[in-house]
Structure 1
């Protein structure tokens, strides 16, 4: 199935379900919303009537007042109102009044006068000083036959002397509910359709752009000349540029040129020293001088071998896309074994070494690469620590990472070199010999850190230099 169709199907499913859920939820909220609004109006009406009826009820002349006649006339009115497209031709309120005992004194329908309404919730709760309201079905089997009743107390000072209740059949609200649901249904359906249309256009555009990029990649892989397609859209443009950069790197242009140029520069110095020493050895010279030139040849040969070996190791790490193994590696014994391997050098220089790494800390990764990386860091610390100086190795947990810190006493790193020490072939002269190294050690450590989703950082601290290698916690 093409990617564009799959994207559209997922989009269709998401938009369809989300739209249906929102629309159905809003539809379900229309009915209670209209009823709540109606109840609020009934509350105002009931309280207004309570104030109007107070004096007549208090004086016992409610039946002799004009209210029964007025309520009868009210029930016969025909408003002929057009309310947002819904015609209203009759009034629907029912009003009844009870005394303090809940006995009906006045009923606009004329059928409940004298009856005891004290058990109905609207009257019962209002007489107790609470908010009185109820909804009662005229037909128990018909939900639409329910009638909403809202009552208000008729007060004489702080005393409740009666209750006035205003009722409205819920079926009179149904036309407004149905009209709102119909309009909302059309509007929601239209919005969902428009969303799906936009999703279809977006899927077509995205799949078309990806097809152009795919044809370009296929042409390049076939060795054909192809022009990078011009794509609109930030991510697609970045993807096309990334594919172009990958093509350039795979063709080996920038990679080979950089390596050949730098490697040639690095090899010139030791080769010239070896050749010069060899030419001089061809003539007569004192034995002491001969031995010095032989030593130079051996030293420069070892430097060439080290350069080549480290370059091979670095190339292998750079070409990797992942780790061959991910195991828990205890830091303390690993560092201790590296220190034991360098013990002769440490004692010869009179260095003080502190291994403060807790035995409980372990990192997760490839054991061989981690050993090589820590070995390079220790070599650097030994190279730059003056005789009798201090090297301190420590580690601490920081969230999901463990920070391994290697401190060596010595001169601070110059500002101009601090940001470049992890570059290939960049190195500073060693204090003891004045010679530079291959400049590949820290670059190798950084590549190992990246393979393990960690990082490498160098900084000047009080009394020396500290290297921090962050690795995932086991």
Structure 2
């Protein structure tokens, strides 16, 4: 992995800053939420204490004392009087929760909803009956089929079920000894797919504040024993009270009202007696519109604060955990939306505080009701969202800045390393010479120290290379005098009288001296030639003519070999030193003659491209040893197998490579594809 990639991965650690900020925001949000719950509880305790000191505000009707639970029915305040058509569309539009009536087996049999508008009470009853049976006029009795019965404080009314039509409410007149119709009770029956439905109205004064409903389900219209019975009438036969909001309690509750705070007082069974403050269901369309516009932002904040999905706030009836216990309880809800199956991201905290009488002479103080305080966290949520927004922008900016700085630093560091790598690669040419001065850095960091160490190392190597290059000339100069003394002494010795053995040894010494003299002459010539190469002058000439002339010369000098030339027709102009190129080809031809068997062919080929000339010299013979393709061009390297008799020092190909470097070309050696010889290739840029 590159250094830049490593630093980029390391910079990802800056993402821990937003994570830590989110954790801090979650703790702040949790602390603010707990503080809000404590405030709501304190408000509920204050209201509960006030109602406990004045129990007549929450329990003005003494008739409800000691009544069994489930006997009371709730009268919802109606915004408008429903039309008595039997369909109940107005009831469903207001979303009023019904009371479910179970039969003796605990299965739902009917649902009843009560309301009040002015001085009239309204009732909507929906019964589930797969086998409805209606009154048979041929049989005696007020109702011999399915029946709905109403019990008020002083009267019992019988309503025979009909498939369609007006309601006939019958009551027994003891003075006349017969059943009579109650004309003040008006309504209408309608059939439904699952049974029947009843919608009626009566004067509220007719109930005297008490009402019970009983539904009788018969299989046949024979007046027999009902198969199913569902009723709200207690075992003592006394109807339950009609519960409705209390104006005095509502007025008292208004003193504690605050913006964004909803206060609700319920009785022992959870019926709403008074309510003031914000109604989230009336404002849910506006909230839903805002949620639709900011759903992405709300989703992001929900993920940051980890609030999760909350249950929706019930529209009219709070859960039993808040309405039916004697302990203080709290719960979080989600604000309602137009979609009944979803909630918005606004949270609502609700705290329920019991209202218990303060009468000291009562051992078990009765529960009068509960005070439920609810408040939205919109203000706190706005605060945390604002903090989250600032945190996100700050951390994102800081992380982006750190990332850019690290990326820039990585790029600069990588550039320095690449520059050092490139300088190290090109510091020494193919002949081992140092190409100019190695760059020295200004900075004193670790890379700068490494750069200076490379420069010092190359400088020492260049000094050693210069010493090796001058070693041949120094040896040649220093050895010529003792070699001359040795040769003159051998000449004088050979002029005298020597026996056969002594003369043989003297001749061998003379041959060795001659070989050493030739070696010194070759070293001296190589040094002079290398110096002359750098001083050669360039000119434009025809490379094709030069090759033709040299090929003919080689053929004349070595008649035992066949020299051939393959080149493009026409002049091939080249700008260079023709004498040096002729010398280079002499070295290659001499090398080919040394290894090629007699009567074999030595082929010269010239190829011209748009960018360079390619000159090849190919000969038959033994292949190159493995690994010698480049070593052949080094000084004092030779692969000739002549036992050293000829005194070859490997300087010919070394000089050829120097001439190729002078022309900014390259010289390569390789075995032929057929494995029967060697080919030397010279690349000359045009």
TM-score (norm 1): 0.44
More helix by share: 1
More strand by share: 2
Q: Bigger radius of gyration, 1 or 2?
A: 2
